[in-house]
Amino acid sequence: MLRNGLFYDPFSSSILVSAFALSPLQDVDYAHKLFDQIPKPNIYTWNALIRAYSSSQVPIRSLLIFIRMLYRCEEVLPNKFTYPFVIKAAAELLDMRVGEVLHGMAIKTSLGSDVFILNSLINFYSSCKCLDSAYRILLNIPERDVVSWNSMITGFAQGDRPDEALKLFHEMQGENLRPDKVTMMSVLTACTKKLDLDTGRWVHSYIKRNGIKENLNLNNALLDMYTKCGSLKDAQKLFDKMPEKDIVSWTTMLVGYAKSGDYITARKHFDTMPNQDIAAWNALISAYEQSGNPKEALAIFNELQVSNKAKPDNVTLGLGFVSDKDVK
């Protein structure tokens, strides 16, 4: 592209930058280096880099690119695709002040009624625990989509307002919108927070009745709900039917049985796990320690050291110290 002069064509260079910034073979640093060599990046190129950084380990760079865009490009202005990603970066940083400024900018540029921007603002205010502000935005969206409802239901569920999350779920159904896997996971989180087994079972049957395709994350959410609500029978039945299981699935069952006092079944699950990572060892040690069995907890801690199957971390050492103290 350099030899043929294509790199300096705004359209061609934007495709190249977005390929490195957003593709599965992502290399945001290389995309940034390419971006810095483009004389006049178009709005698509700016947005690609802002979007990539908003989902990276350094979301503040998304905001820095946005500021650079504002100060150095008079002919290129943020559009409705720019704001959702910089607002997402502010949410990742939990920076209330920056998010409010971005909200005001969107309104001033006549983009304050765009559903994508409003959805991102619901997520931002929910992440910053300003749930009332998020809810006001939801009420003011003229045509709410599934993402609008999901963002608010998730905000209420994770923000310790499970009753309001469940209420919104029923209101969502009244608007003839079809819930998806994200909706159901948030609703299950609300049931778990309330320790509401009956509603949790109803949600499980709702998923089956409405043909919502179950995946690993959704099944893990169901397992978590059943174990924390005290129905290991339902949890085991689901676990046995799951076509795919990961370390979270196994650990959830292990912890559920251990906390119920059924250490034999808990140990059985632990021994049959395909991969006993340090989180699983910690879960088993913690379960014994918290149930008033420090000697057993220390025995498993010593077994971990001898087995060399996983390397103890700070959590493990803390549990071992507490158990040793209790024994003494």
Q: Which residues contact 45 (CB under 8 A, 6 or more apart)?
A: 10, 13, 14, 17, 18, 35, 38
Q: Give the per-residue pLDDT at 323.
A: 54
CATH homologous superfamily of domain 144-244?
Answer: Tetratricopeptide repeat domain (1.25.40.10)
pTM passes above 0.95? no
Q: Hey, CA dihedral for 228, 232, 238, 241, is it positive or negative?
A: positive
Rounded CA-CA distance 298/319 in Å is 9
Rounded CA-CA distance 78/66 in Å is 8
Average pLDDT over residues 159-163: 95
Q: Give the per-residue pLDDT at 47.
A: 95
**Two tokens, residue 132:** 């009332």
E strand or H helix that includes residue 74: none
> In this predicted model, what pLDDT tens digit does every residue of 284-309 receive, in sequence order?
888 777 777 788 888 888 888 887 77
- Dmax (CA) for the chain in angstroms is 77
**Would you kindly state where each structural domain of the chain is located, as residue ranges?**
144-244, 250-328
Determine what percent of the chain is predicted with pLDDT higher than 70.
Answer: 96
Q: Which residues contact 138 (CB under 8 A, 6 or more apart)?
A: 122, 144, 148, 149, 151, 152
> In this predicted model, what pLDDT tens digit does every residue of 13-65 receive, in sequence order?
889 999 999 988 889 999 999 999 988 889 999 999 999 999 999 999 999 99
